Structure 1
Amino acid sequence: MKKDSQFDLNIAKLALKTHHFAFELDRAFFEQFEQSLIQDGHLHAEVELTKTDLLLTLDFHIHGALRLICDRSLDEFDQPIDVRHTMRVRFGDQNLELDDDVLQITPDTQILPIAQHLFDYIGLAIPMKKLHPRFQNEPDENPDAETKLIFTTRQPGDGADEDEGTDPRWDALRNLN
């Protein structure tokens, strides 16, 4: 990822209260990351940062549309996105990522970069199956395919029918008692 100070929050100069930040995310934002999932989009990110003596709480609200490629038709389409996420940053003796939503930074940290967090929250909001809106309301071709499991060891055309009974070789083995 390239360095972009537009998405860095100068937390050292912030007073102990709630602060609001707004960011516009477009093609230039997504080009900063070495990835091929998201190429374009027009999103608005609002970050509400509450600073206390021991903790920073960042509430993210990201909404807008991403330009994605349909998995079925390879057509481009706009996918609406509306994400709300909370991240907590506590102060400690070293910089650590304690959990997906909890970071630890040293008290003398001046800048908190949030570009990677914005990108990650957007990436998590993308559906696993990216379908153009014209395909989203279509029923599956075989709705019972997920719930019905059929298992057989017979291959088509091997001549074994259910009406024939048992294999005579097994009958001989059963008589070995």
Structure 2
Amino acid sequence: MGKFTLYKLPLKSLPVGTHHYEYLLDNEFFRNIDGPEVQKGKVSVTLSVKRTADVFELDFVINGVIQVPCDRCLDDLDLEVDTKEKLYVKFGAEYSDENDNVVIVPEAEGEINIAWFLYEFIALTIPLKHVHPAGKCNKSMSAKLRKHTAQSTDDGGENEETSEEFDVEDDIVSEPDDETTDPRWDELKKLIDNN
């Protein structure tokens, strides 16, 4: 993390009170941190550090745009980032993550590098499914996907998709027939009914 000295906060030398910092995370930041979810973006961060006697309260306001690959066509997709996060830092003997938002840093070091925290806060804003709006995916990739995806019709043949944009319906879950049930479930139901 030597490339991220800009993101080291000298907590030990901060006087009691509130201190403000601003950061601009660009493509170089995301490339250097080498995280799997985000490789490009332009995100501004406003950080407010409030020090009391032995606790540091870090309030992050994070806004901007990141680029992630579209799940469908793999082209870059712009996603807006707009989040607020809070982190509490305390001094201790050795580094430790007590829980999701409390961090212990060695008092001898007296500083914390927030680069990876910034990346994680941004990565957590990415939705599970990230695809372009209908009609915005890469046309050649959609055509290749359409070519290699066979959908059977009632007569057993392949159904050619006629629309220019191919939507993979991966959210549809088929419902089982009510009439056919697994005999194991029937036996389990009998046990429940007897109790």
User: TM over 0.5: same fold?
Assistant: yes
Trace 1:123-142 onto structure 2 (pairs within 5 A).
123-134=123-134
Aligned residue runs from structure 1 range 136-151, under 5 A:
145-146=172-173, 149-151=175-177
Which SS does the other structure have where 2:62 is aligned?
A: strand
SS of equivalent residue, structure 1 residue 133:
coil
Residue matched to 2:77: 77
Q: Would you say how many aligned residue pairs link Structure 1 and Structure 2?
A: 150
Q: Pick closer, same or farther for the CA change 1:31–1:129 going to 2, 3 Å.
A: same
Percentage identity across aligned positions?
A: 30
Contact 1:2 1:33 in 2 (8 A): no
Q: Unmatched 5+ residue regions in structure 1? A: 155-177
What's the counterpart of residue 95 of structure 2?
A: 95
Give the corresponding residue for 2:5.
5
Measure how far apart 1:103 and its partner are. 0.7
Larger CA deviation: 93-102 vs 120-129:
93-102
Q: Secondary structure at the match of 2:28?
A: helix
Q: Secondary structure at the match of 1:12?
A: helix
Q: Determine if the alignment matches structure 1 residue 38 to structure 2 residue 38.
A: yes
Question: Structure 1 stretch 105-114 or stretch 4-13: which is displaced more?
Answer: 105-114
Q: CA deviation at 1:76?
A: 1.7
1:83 Cα deviation after fit: 1.3
Deviation string for 1:90-132 (max 9, x for gaps)? Answer: 2223321111211112333332100000001111111110111
Question: Under a length normalisation based on structure 2, what TM-score does the superposition of the two structures give?
Answer: 0.68
2:131 is matched by which residue type in structure 1? L
